[in-house]
Amino acid sequence: MKKFDSLKSILLVDDDEASNFLHSIFISKLAMDIEVNAAINGQEALDFILNKGQDKLALPCMVMLDLRMPVVDGWEFVRMYEEQVPEKLKEQLMIVLVTISDNDQDKERAKNNPYIVDFAQKPLSDNTFKKIINKHINISVGA
């Protein structure tokens, strides 16, 4: 499993704006210098990535992707991501699925996708973010 050297920004993708707000608070509790952006559906997230891809410093390192959303859901986002995002950008991004679903098919599908690095069950907490970051980034967050 590839580990990233740093984490400069996170893109939260969830149609529940309250979840995005809470998750940004949990991330801020980690006392790391991380920019947090949010999108309310997969299309917004894809547009954000393709736009920010022009500026390597603004590109999110981690995408926390909800599965169940209107307009473009998580799985449709992954399909569009595979087709539209240049390989050079994909090498700099990691996708973590975040969902209420305890569906084994979703977990298996996530495991078999080369762009999805992890699967997290809602509700998330600062501890969940800490575990995900420590698992996928070459830094240690909190004790």
pTM of the model: 0.90
pLDDT at residue 141 greater than cutoff 90? no
In the predicted model, what is the mean pLDDT of residues 7-13? 90
Q: How far apart are CA 121 and CA 128, in angstroms?
A: 9
Three-state secondary structure call for residue 143? coil
The per-residue pLDDT for range 96-139, each reduced to its tens digit, is 999 887 888 988 999 999 999 999 988 888 899 999 988 988 77
The per-residue pLDDT for range 12-62, each reduced to its tens digit, is 999 999 999 999 999 988 878 888 999 999 999 999 999 876 666 567 789
Instruction: Determine contact, residues 92/7, Cβ cutoff 8 Å.
Output: no
Cα 29 to Cα 18, 24, 141, distances in angstroms = 17, 9, 11
CATH of 9-126, one of 3.30.360.10, 3.40.50.970, 2.40.50.100, 3.40.50.2300: 3.40.50.2300
Kindly list the domain boundaries of the chain, sorted by start residue.
9-126
List own/partner pairs for 39-42 with CB under 8 A and 24 or more apart.
39/11, 39/12, 39/13, 40/13, 40/14, 40/15, 40/69, 41/13, 41/15, 41/69, 41/70, 41/71, 41/72, 41/73, 42/13, 42/69, 42/71, 42/72, 42/73, 42/74, 42/76, 42/77, 42/80
